[in-house]
């Protein structure tokens, strides 16, 4: 299960690492679109857009459906809840570490002030 989750996270974060792919997701939040429409919106070739969509599809973030000669893209059903939870766990960890560091700095500052008062 852990390997499956790690593979999904790797695929998702890999897909999200590219600005064009993030833009495609934002575009699909507004409305479904064909690969041609997406390619035009991002001023790129159909082949380039097909590659981007393929990566998003492999990550489960986009679903495509071919009707006749048109391949339509829409957001996948999966969403990003698992990725958001992973990020939130790391955020809480770093927040706790920074809080502990703040306590150390405050203690050192208090000791420094106390030493300064004694010297006078």
SS3 category, 7: helix
SS3 category, 67: strand
Question: What angle do the packed helices 81-119 and 2-16 form, to 10 degrees?
Answer: 80
For tokens 């339509």, the residue is: 72
pLDDT for residue 87: 92
Segment 45-65 shows an average pLDDT of 96
Q: Of 30, 40, 33, which Cα lies nearest the Cα of 73? A: 33
Segment 90-119 shows an average pLDDT of 88
pLDDT digits (tens, 9 = 90+) for 63-103: 999 989 999 999 998 878 889 999 999 999 999 999 899 99
The rounded percent of the chain whose pLDDT value lies above 90 is 71
Neighbours of 74 (CB within 10 A): 13
- Between strands 62-67 and 33-34, the pairing is unpaired
- Residue 11: Cβ-neighbour burial (10 angstroms; 0-12, 13-18, 19+): middle
Q: Of the given ranges (3-7, 28-32, 36-40), which has the lowest mean pLDDT?
A: 3-7
What percent of the chain is helix, strand and coil (3-state, nearest 5)?
70, 10, 15
CA dist 98 and 102 (Å) reads 6
pTM of the model: 0.75
């Amino acid at each position: 299960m852990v390997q499956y989750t790690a593979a999904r996270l790797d695929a998702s974060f890999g897909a999200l690492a590219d600005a064009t792919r993030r833009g495609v997701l934002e575009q699909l939040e507004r409305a479904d679109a064909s690969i041609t429409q997406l390619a035009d919106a991002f001023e790129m070739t159909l082949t380039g857009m097909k590659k981007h969509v393929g990566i998003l599809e492999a990550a489960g973030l986009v679903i495509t459906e071919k009707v006749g000669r048109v391949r339509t893209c829409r957001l996948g059903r999966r969403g990003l809840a698992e990725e958001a939870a992973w990020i939130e766990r790391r955020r809480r960890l770093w927040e706790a570490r920074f809080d502990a560091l703040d306590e150390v700095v405050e203690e050192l500052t208090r000791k420094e002030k106390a030493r300064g008062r004694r010297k006078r």
